[in-house]
């Protein structure tokens, strides 16, 4: 449904990345942080896929004829434990569960990479800000004393302009991602909470795989949101610590504007319903358990 919009977002990410000089410190820092992002995406992808495959293939190692969920009935294939209904149902359930999981895992890993790139670039821009004065002195050390001050501030002005441009583009990209996936992220979060509660009501003995599957996705969403918040706060601190007191008045005004903008902490929300963070994760766990205990006591009566 949002294929063209998502493709447009990816294209903008590529254009943003193309502005960075290969081999520069900024490029090296981004690449270094992206290796961590890649590990993060690989971990969540493997976690979701492995849980689903265990769910699919565990029945083959149990005595008798079983399905991933013995209580789930495919209408038209009753009785399901007799041939050829058993074989047909097994193939249908295995293919369905695997396909659905691959789709979820791929989408989750895709979001991890996009948001991880934003995090990596903001953190790398923070480091550029912290080094902007030292870089200016290093680049102008061969210039005479009379004109060196002007050269330093010209260099700083160019670097600040470049950093501000990339920072604004990352803010725009983050808002665009949230805008495109606003409804789907909200629905996903609500369905995952409902699934987590339903899995607990079903009994851990029967849903020991469904619970970590749902929790892993909730955790990753909140984790990504928290990393964006942390990166934004790091950038804010870097703006203040960039030795702005040594700049000329023009660059001081520029830093002042950047500082005001950076104090509006970036965040990722679930469709505007809740800001994704570790605090949100704790709230989800608490509310899910409260719903679970309430429903459990109600169902007993």
- Flag the least confident range among 48-57, 89-98, 285-294: 285-294
115-124, 216-225, 256-265: least confidently modelled range = 256-265
**Once rounded to an integer, what is the mean pLDDT over residues 216-244?**
92
pLDDT-wise least confident of 132-141, 196-205, 208-217, 278-287:
196-205
How far apart are alpha carbons 111 and 220 in whole angstroms?
10
Most confident of 167-176, 180-189, 261-270: 167-176
Categorize the per-residue pLDDT at 166 as very low, low, confident or very high, splitting at 50, 70 and 90. very high
67-115 pLDDT tens trace: 887 777 788 878 888 888 888 888 888 899 999 999 999 999 999 999 9
Site of tokens 């934004």: 232
Separation CA 57–CA 60 (nearest Å) = 6
CA distances from 16 to 19, 171, 172, 229 (A): 6, 12, 11, 21
Residue 192: partners with Cβ closer than 8 Å, 6 or more residues away = 214, 217, 218
pLDDT higher than threshold 70 for residue 1: no
Q: Compute the Cα dihedral for 282, 288, 294, 297 and give only its sign.
A: negative
Q: What six digits make up the tokens of 4?
A: 């063209």
Cα angle: 180, vertex 47, 115; to 5 degrees? 30
pLDDT for 299 equals: 67
* pTM for the model: 0.89
Query: For the chain, which residues make up each domain, given as ranges?
Result: 3-300
Q: What end-to-end distance do the CA atoms of the chain give, in Å?
A: 44
């Amino acid at each position: 449904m949002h294929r063209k919009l998502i493709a447009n977002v990816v294209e903008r990410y590529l254009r943003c990345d193309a502005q960075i000089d290969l081999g520069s410190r900024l490029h090296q820092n981004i690449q270094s942080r992206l290796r961590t992002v890649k590990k993060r995406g690989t971990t969540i992808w493997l976690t979701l896929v492995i849980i689903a495959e265990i769910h699919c293939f565990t029945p083959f190692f149990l005595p008798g004829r079983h399905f991933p969920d013995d209580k789930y009935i495919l209408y038209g294939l009753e009785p399901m434990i007799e041939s050829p209904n058993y074989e047909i149902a097994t193939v249908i359930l295995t293919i369905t569960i695997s396909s659905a999981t691959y789709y979820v895992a791929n989408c989750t890993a895709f979001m991890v990479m996009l948001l991880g790139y934003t995090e990596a670039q903001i953190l790398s821009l923070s480091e550029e800000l912290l080094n902007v004065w030292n870089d200016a002195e290093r680049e102008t050390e061969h210039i005479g004393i009379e004109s060196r001050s002007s050269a330093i501030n010209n260099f700083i002005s160019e670097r600040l302009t470049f950093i501000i441009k990339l920072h604004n583009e990352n803010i725009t990209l983050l808002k665009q991602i949230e805008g495109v996936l606003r409804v789907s992220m909200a629905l996903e979060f609500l369905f995952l909470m409902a699934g987590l509660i339903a899995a607990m009501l079903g009994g851990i003995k029967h849903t020991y795989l469904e619970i970590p599957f749902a929790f892993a996705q909730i955790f990753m969403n909140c984790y990504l949101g928290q990393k964006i918040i942390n990166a934004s706060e790091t950038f804010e601190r870097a703006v203040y610590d960039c030795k702005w007191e040594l700049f000329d008045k023009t660059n001081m005004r520029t830093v002042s504007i950047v500082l005001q903008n950076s104090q509006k902490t970036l965040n990722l929300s679930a469709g505007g319903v809740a800001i994704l963070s570790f605090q949100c994760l704790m709230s989800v766990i608490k509310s899910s358990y409260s719903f679970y205990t309430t429903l459990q006591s109600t169902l007993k009566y």
